[in-house]
Every structure is written in structure tokens, then in C-alpha cells.
Structure 1
Amino acid sequence: MNTLLLPLVSTGNVPQLMTDLVLHSLDSEFEFVRELDSLYVYPFTGPIDYVEDSDSSLYRTSPEKTFTTPVELFFNPKLKLYIIQQRSPILQPYENQFCKNVIAPLIEELNIGSLVVTDATDNFGEHIAAASTRRSPYSFGVCQVSQIDDLSGEFQQKLQLHDTGATPVNNTLFQFSSQSFQSGISTEQFIFKLCYHLLHTQKVSEILKEIRYFNIYVQEGDNSEDAAAACTQVPQVITGFPSITTLRAPVSWKGVYGTRDAPGTFEEGLYI
């Protein structure tokens, strides 16, 4: 079964940083596939990222590629794992179009059976349905798509929205682990919109067996350690994923948290 990892642009960019660590720590096992449609995200261009003193490169099979784009797709044939790296946020009015016109067709094309969505939050109030007892900085929930009959017709019933708070919350679509800090998802979260469109796309709902949601509680700041800690959880989130013994950060990280002077030229780094 093919798996697709989708990191959401969220608090501290922790999903992107975690994805950086996964891709660059295992750069000899992943390969660049192609750029994805970036019509619905903020424009972004940067130099090719890499790990210093590495014998391999994520872009080794694409020597013609000379710059980084907003949304890129990578593949690990051994793990049957596709990974999207999204480096800029979705334009606010176009979240639904991104789900329908980018993610849904990609799942169909790649015959994805398991979609893994990574997220990060610093808010337990308005937009997160907090569990009665917070036990972990991680939340892990699974939506078994294959066990929901008549997805289009029964979607509203399955959601079982509760309007007791400021934002409606669904407590049934995802089954969260006992250690999770949240018990449901709200309509304000991107994961809700993504699920809605995927479950309403007939071909996708026939192919997709499960949606796994991995949410990380963080605070804004130097989130490099949060990303490294999240990497230790990946084997629990993605079936068959090995533990990474040595995490390797790409050169772009050197300028993220003020550890060097701001880059003055395109070649000096992704971040200003």
C-alpha cells in the first residue's frame, strides 16, 4: 500500500522542519519526483537545499533542477512512501481548491492507501478540542475510511458536529489514542476541510483506506528541537518506517533562528 505524508504549514513550521529531517537524513533513500501545482500557495523560490558533507542529494536524479519551489514531491521506493514538502502557506481563500485540485488528484494518481497528515498547534482554546486530561505533546488519530459506508450520503451524520463551543467540533471522524492531547477536530482546522473534500471525491474515497493525523503541541520560537523530537514518533505514525539513528539538518537551517547573518545573495540560503 502506498503512503503519502503531507505536512501542513502550521505553528513554528514544525511539520516542515520534521519533513526536512526525514528527507535529508535519508537522502540516499528518497528521490525527487516533481514539482506540484503551486497556484494556490504564496510564491516562493529558493536555492537547492542539501546536507553539508553528504555523499548523496535529494535532487541527484534531476541535475537540471536549480532552485526550490513551493510544493515538491519525493518518493522512497523501499517504503512505498511519498512525501510532499510544502514551503509556503496556502492563500487563505483557496484552501478548498488546494484540497480538490492538488491533493485529491494526487492521491488518485499515486494510488495512495494511507494519507498521513502532520500538523502543529499552540492553541487548546478556540480551535482544538482538548482531551479531558493532557498526557502527551502529541495527538495521533486515525480515520478508517474503508469502514465508512456511503461516504457522500452519510458524511454529515458521521461528522456529528457539536456546537457547544465557539467552533463546531467533530469527535467521531478520528479515533485518537489515549495519550492524545485532543479528542476531536474543529471545523476551523485545515484537516477538517481536507477530510471533507477527500471523502466527497468518489475515486479518492474508493482508493484511500485511512487518514492518519499527527498533531504536535509546540510554542513559537526555535522549534528545531521540537522537530527532532517529532521524528522519533514517525515509526508510530507511519507503518514500517524505521527509526532514524542520525538526524541531519540541511544547510537552510543555519539561517532560520539567527545563528548566522542574514543571507545577502540567493546562493546563501532559503531564509532571510
Structure 2
Amino acid sequence: MTFIPVSNYDSNLLKGSKLLLPTVSIGNVPQLTFDLLVHTFKLQRVGYIDQDTLMPVSGIREDDKTGVTVPMEVFQSKDHQWTYVQQRSPTIKGKRQAFLDQLVQFASQFSQVIIVTSMDASRRLDSQIRGGPFRVFGDKSVVDQLGIPVLENMLNEDLPAAGLARHLYQQLSSSLPTSLLVMFALEGDNVQDSIEYAHLINTVFKLQTDISSWTPPKSWEFLFGTPFNAELYQ
């Protein structure tokens, strides 16, 4: 796993910043959330991560620049305080541990990591059914800052449909300040989930203070395919 910077970007600017890191999990809520953060904040694409552990995927860039999107891309705020990774595809079978090991090595240069994931809302504990859909676990300073409930039984239970979130947290937290941010969700139309998630992240971490609305990328127009021809059913 190698970070490939765009031209004229100094890779040393990554060091010491705070990393927001999504997992591929139920509803792709983290991916949709990071779409909103990247496009609303107009974050600078500073490079991508070259690796052989994720399912290959590519698409048209949405910032009107040449090139294509790839499975893992890196963005950064203008003040270089926050770094965002967008992961668009899951790990290849048999390469999960290699992906985790390489990602932990990449993350070691940051001052703090916030893992953003989603969990299956249909498998919540009784104590999780009431109240809001968010939970947090990990670094005490972040837990206190968020002001939302701590994730119950994190150390004793699996995290249903949260992908590699638990494994990633366990490996990262042994070497640097790491927090796990969770949203309970279901498969379906997860646009509203991502808006609520983006709002929470922006509010508690004070990423941008002048945001009045969220700007989705153009690709969201095709989240549910193209419209059908109504004349076919007349």
C-alpha cells in the first residue's frame, strides 16, 4: 500500500493531521457520508493509495479534472488539519489481513484516527433501540467531545455488518489515539442517513462552520438507476 500524491503536493503535509477513515459497511453509509463531506467542503484531492487488496473499481472524476477515480483516494482540508480517505470497494477475499496491516502502517503517521462505520440496525441490543442512531467508542477526548452514548459491549460482541471496523480499531488503537464512530442503519435509501452522519461529524469536530446545506456529487443522480419509461405500462 503506497500513497501516490498528486503533482506539487508534499506528502509530509499528511503527517500529524487527523484522519477520518470510513469502512465499507451496511448501506455504504460511510461512503455516502464522505461523498457529502468531500463535495460540500470542496476538499482537495491530494492523492490516492496504490494497493492490491481491494476490489478494482474506476469511474469518471466528479471534479471536472482529468483522470479516473480509484478504490482509495485521499483528500485534505485547506489548513492541512484533517485528512479524509474515501474507500469505494471492499477487500478481496483472502487479503483482509494484508489490507489491515498495510492500512495501519499508513495511518501511523497521523496524530489521531476516527473510524467511521455503520452497523445493522435490525440487530441492535434492547438498550440501543431507544434514543439516537449514533454510538462512539475509544479515545476518551473524542468520546467526551461527541456527547453521544458509548457503544455497548464493544469488546465482547461482533459489530454486525460493520465490515472491518472492529479489527481496524483493535489494530490501530494499540499504537495511536483511535475512535470508532457508529451509525445504526438498514439497507435501502441511505441518503438521509448520510446527511445526518455528515452533519454530526461536521458539528462535533467543527470541520466547517459556515455550512447551510449539503452538496451531493452528480453520481447521486444515478443511485437508483435511470427513470423507467412510464409508457411501457400504459
Same fold per TM (> 0.5)? yes
1:242 to 201, 208, 217: 208
2:55 is matched with: 42
For residues 182-221 of structure 1, the aligned pairs below 5 Å read 182-185=151-154, 186-187=157-158, 190-199=164-173, 205=175, 208=176, 210-221=177-188
- Secondary structure at the counterpart of residue 88 of structure 1: coil
1:11 is matched with: 26
The 3 A distance-change label for structure 1 pair 96 and 121 is: same
Asked if structure 2 preserves the Cα contact closer than 8 Å seen for 1:133 and 1:181, the reply is no
The 3 A distance-change label for structure 1 pair 177 and 249 is: closer
* Length, aligned pairs only: 206
The 3 A distance-change label for structure 1 pair 78 and 177 is: closer
Measure the CA separation in 1 of the matches of 2:35 and 2:193: 13
How big is each residue's C-alpha offset from its partner over 1:50-89, in whole Å with a ceiling of 9 and x where there is no partner?
A: 4xxxxxx6xxxxx5x4111011011113251100011111
Asked if structure 2 preserves the Cα contact closer than 8 Å seen for 1:117 and 1:212, the reply is yes
The 3 A distance-change label for structure 1 pair 194 and 130 is: farther
The 3 A distance-change label for structure 1 pair 192 and 130 is: farther
Unaligned runs of 5+ in 1: 51-56, 58-62, 146-173, 262-272
Paired AA for residue 70 in structure 1 = P
2:116 is matched with: 118
Q: What is the root-mean-square deviation in Å for CA atoms of aligned residues?
A: 2.8
Asked if structure 1 preserves the Cα contact closer than 8 Å seen for 2:29 and 2:190, the reply is yes
Paired AA for residue 76 in structure 2 = F
Measure the CA separation in 2 of the matches of 1:134 and 1:7: 25
For residues 101-180 of structure 1, the aligned pairs below 5 Å read 101=102, 103-108=103-108, 111-123=109-121, 125=123, 131=127, 134-144=130-140, 179-180=148-149
- Secondary structure at the counterpart of residue 113 of structure 2: strand
Asked if structure 2 preserves the Cα contact closer than 8 Å seen for 1:135 and 1:179, the reply is no
Q: Which runs of 4+ in 1 moved over 4 A?
A: 174-179
| TM-score computed with the length of structure 2 as normaliser | 0.76
Asked if structure 1 preserves the Cα contact closer than 8 Å seen for 2:41 and 2:208, the reply is no
Q: Which 10-residue stretch deviates more, 2-11 or 70-79?
A: 70-79
* Aligned-residue identity in percent: 23
Unaligned runs of 5+ in 2: 1-15, 229-234
Measure the CA separation in 2 of the matches of 1:72 and 1:251: 18
Paired AA for residue 221 in structure 2 = K
The 3 A distance-change label for structure 1 pair 253 and 175 is: same
Alpha-carbon distance, 1:8 to partner: 0.8
